[in-house]
Amino acid sequence: MKDALARRETLPVVADSAVAPFTPAQLEERRIVRHDMADPRQADAFRDLRTQLLARANGAGVVTLVAPVSRGSGGSYVAVNLAAAMVFDETRTAILVDCNLRSPVLHDRLGVTADRGGLVDYLEGRITTPETILYGTGVPRLMLVPAGGRREASGDLLGSQRMRQLLHALRTIGNGAPIVLDAAAVSSAPDGRIVSELAELSVLVARYGRDSGSAVRETAAVLDPAHLAGVVFNRVP
């Protein structure tokens, strides 16, 4: 299938865009795929997922939600590696947004110290410029908007007009770079459903052997069927 992200994107230089890239050993330790892995199966799986999603949306600035069925299904793992696969080509960029305000992990996984604040700070109005919360990561050309703090009552923030404004701004800043949203488990909070209304595509993540077929169907029914791209089964033997 033809990769729909044919155009080349560039992101503006931000304060920490020159973060030292992870070594192959560090990527392996953090379970992040790279294009030249000795065993290419994981990288190929995410490359194929990337290509199919971008082809469905014609690639230009597509916003994709990644949401797990339940806690521990591996949603953040899939979100990070989908975004990492999007920058396998050295001429491409991608933006990852940590919308899991209940249990954010992406800043740790991607080696980001969110000293300028994050998504919560922007949505609560303490930060007014989106560029401030856009950080370089240990994966070259992959930018992160970290959560910036934990919020149990996060649905109102994620469904706010400021969240919509942020995504619009990131499309402009990224010159059409794809945006991946990592959300909390759909079965445990309304956040995934709320964020799905902001995305063109949604990917549901189920843990093989743990999330039952009925749980997957019930969770999928919560999301807009017109935008549901499919289900990724994580930890398949």
Q: Tens place of pLDDT for every residue, the chain, 237 residues?
A: 333 333 334 454 444 555 789 999 999 999 999 999 989 999 999 999 999 998 887 656 799 999 999 888 899 999 999 999 999 988 889 999 999 998 899 999 999 999 999 999 999 999 999 999 999 999 999 999 999 977 777 888 999 999 999 999 998 898 889 999 999 988 878 888 899 999 999 999 998 878 888 888 988 888 888 889 999 998 776
**Is residue 102 included in any domain, yes or no?**
yes
Q: Closest Cα to residue 230, out of 72, 97, 56?
A: 56
Helices 75-86/41-56 angle, 10° precision: 80
Reading the block at residue 183, the tokens are 């959300």
pLDDT of residue 142: 97
**Is residue 149 included in any domain, yes or no?**
yes
pLDDT of residue 26: 96
CB atoms within 10 A of CB 206: 24
In CATH, what number is assigned to the domain containing residue 70?
3.40.50.300
Long-range CB contacts (< 8 A, 24+ apart) of 56-60?
56/4, 56/201, 56/229, 57/4, 57/200, 57/201, 58/4, 59/3, 59/4, 59/5, 59/6, 59/7, 59/176, 59/178, 60/7, 60/176
pLDDT of residue 9: 43
pLDDT of residue 14: 46
Domain total in the chain: 1
**Is residue 129 included in any domain, yes or no?**
yes
Spatial contact of 62 and 54, defined as CB atoms under 8 Å apart: yes
**Is residue 128 included in any domain, yes or no?**
yes
pLDDT of residue 18: 57
**Is residue 78 included in any domain, yes or no?**
yes
Domain of residue 39: give its range.
Answer: 24-234
pLDDT of residue 108: 93
Residues 6+ apart with CB under 8 A from 147: 98, 99, 100, 101, 104, 106, 107, 114, 118, 119, 120
C-alpha dihedral sign at 183, 163, 160, 120: positive
Q: How many angstroms separate the most distant Cα atoms in the chain?
A: 46
**Is residue 14 included in any domain, yes or no?**
no
**Is residue 1 included in any domain, yes or no?**
no
**Is residue 17 included in any domain, yes or no?**
no
Total number of residues shown for the chain: 237
